[in-house]
Every structure is written in C-alpha cells, then in structure tokens.
Amino acid sequence: MQKRIVVLGGVGFIGTHLCLRLLDEGHEVFCVDVRDAANSPLLRNVLQHPAFRYVHHNITNTFGIRCERIYNLTSPSMVRYNKALPVDTLKVSILGSINALDTARAEHARVLFASSGALYGTARNAPPESMPDDSTHHILCEGKRAAEALHRAYHAEYGTDTRIARIYNTYGSGADMMDQRVVMKMIVAALQNRDIHVNGNGDQLRTFCWVEDIVDGLVRLMEAPPTETTRTYAFGSNHEVAIRALAEKIVALTGSRSQIVHDKARTDDARRRMPDITAAQRELGWQPRTPLLEGLRRTIAYAEQTLTEKQYTGITWAEMN
C-alpha cells in the first residue's frame, strides 16, 4: 500500500539510498534537504519521477507535510563544518528533531530518528581531559543524545510513535568524494596514489556496513509494530577489521602506489567499536548481508567513475571514526 513518506536529509548519503528504496516500493517520497537534489548523482535520475517530491528546507525551521512516515536522517556531520559551526550542529539535532516530532504529532505519523553508534562509545572510552566541551565528537554526541531523549519524551507524553536507529560505520556508492568517513577517504587517496593516513598503529577495531543493508534495517524498524516504549536498535556490521588492515585491503584492491602513514594517535579514538545487533536480528529479522570485500569493490568502482566524471554529492549523515 502506497504511503506518503518524508525523508529529512534525503540528499545525503544514506538518505539518497533510502529515497530510491522507497520509490521502488511504490511510495510517494518527499525528499527534504538544504542541498539541491539535482546535484546528487543518485537522485538526478528520479527528479521527474511522478512519486518524487524535492523540498528545499532547513529543518531547524518549522514545516508541515501531510505524511504517514518521517525518516529524520539530518545531521551536519563533515568535520570541517562541525568545528566551525557547533551551534548549527546542535540546532539540527535538537530543533530539527522538535520540528520533525511536531509534524509527526500533528499528522499522526510515525517518525524514525537516525542516531549515532558512537553515542555511548567514543566519550566513554576517552579520558575526560581529552574530550573538551567544544570538541567535534562531544558536540555531535550531545546533540544526538538530546534528540534521542526528545523522541522518548514525545512518545511518553504525547503518544507519538517514535523509533531510534543507532547507525555505525556505513560506506558504499553515493558517498561524497570529500567524505571524511574512513572508507571513502582511504579509497580516494588510494585511487590518487596519495598517502593513506592512519591514527596511531592502526590496530583500532571497526566494523563497516554496506549502505543498502543499513537502509534495509531502517525500513524494517519503521514498519515494525508499535511498542509501549520507543524502539531502539543498533545497525552496523558484525565483522571487525583493524584500520591498518582496511587500508591494506584498499591498496591491494585498487592496485595503488599509496603508502600507509601512521600519524599521532588520537586521545578520543575508541580502541574498539562494534554494534550489538542481537535485538535487530531477533526482533526485526535484520542482519548485514554484503561482505566487506564485495562492498569495497563496488565502492571503488563508484569512486573511480565519479572522480573521472567529477560528479559529487553532499553528505547528511556521517559516522565519526
């Protein structure tokens, strides 16, 4: 059955894949973003789709769209932006969530908030003195933490149907070539035969999930039956790889001449960050299906073509590494 679905941050990395998935399922999709959908290599082919609507809007301002579902994927997340605009970063998480929740409440719509897998990992693993109040990670985490609390509060006080997805490292086609996420950053450096920089000795363990697997998890969570409390699940890969090993795989797959360079270790860099996806597997029937090597090959092919054509897309969601 066709639904009217709003995707906030729909021109972003995960948002573009979600819009395409929802269109394929026959839904009417309202893609809301501050960036032009025409600049997205993945969305430009659906701009004339009869069920696709692009809305240029900043969700720190109120909005109203008649709908049945709202996916809130918005977050200004590129490091160079966050350091310069900490207030805007917090506004997007807090004011943006309030505006999305008020719309959901008015329309009796269901709302899913894309939170961060780093929320209860990075800060906890770092000594207090290494996490200043104005650090990028601190600002991102506090904004997401407040947004999660708002979704639970609206559920408890107003009965709004809210869901929370804590997303871990995500990669794949459609990402910006200037993306600060580790996979795309390494792939672009390798394709250009530039040094690949690794913090510390590179033995930090991470997981990397293919973007379409993440989107599948979001859709499953959105369509799961309502519960008495806000449904909250972690989404990410359960296959760990060391950062140094990831760089070596990318160099090998690209045939690059890049050298792996070890920089000073970051004090706020978690030794290990792996999602517990047990609940999503048990209750949603979800699990990542794309092996890392297969996903890396697809991402490399996308990056090669994009660099050649000089087509770039913006980011909305990013997992800090």
User: Please, which residues bridge with residue 167 across strands?
Assistant: 116, 235
The enclosing H or E element of 167 equals strand 162-167
pLDDT value at position 22?
98
Per-residue exposure over 57-76, b if at least 16 CB sit within 10 Å of its own CB, e if not: bbbbeebebebbbbbbbbbb
**pLDDT confidence bin for 78, thresholds 50/70/90:** low
pLDDT value at position 176?
82
pLDDT value at position 28?
98
Q: At the fourth CATH level, which superfamily is domain 4-175+209-238+272-289?
A: NAD(P)-binding Rossmann-like Domain (3.40.50.720)
The enclosing H or E element of 309 equals helix 292-309
pLDDT value at position 121?
52
Residue 147 identity (one-letter amino acid): A
pLDDT value at position 175?
84
Q: Which residue, 141, 58, 153, is CA-closest to 99?
A: 58
Arithmetic mean of pLDDT, 5-14: 96
* For the chain, percent of residues with pLDDT exceeding 90: 76
Has residue 127 got a pLDDT over 50?
Answer: no
Question: pLDDT tens across 166-217, in order?
Answer: 999 999 998 888 777 899 999 999 999 999 999 999 999 999 999 999 999 9
* For the chain, percent of residues with pLDDT exceeding 70: 88
Has residue 80 got a pLDDT over 50?
Answer: no
Question: Which residue carries 């991470």 as its tokens?
Answer: 206
Mean pLDDT computed over every residue of the chain? 89
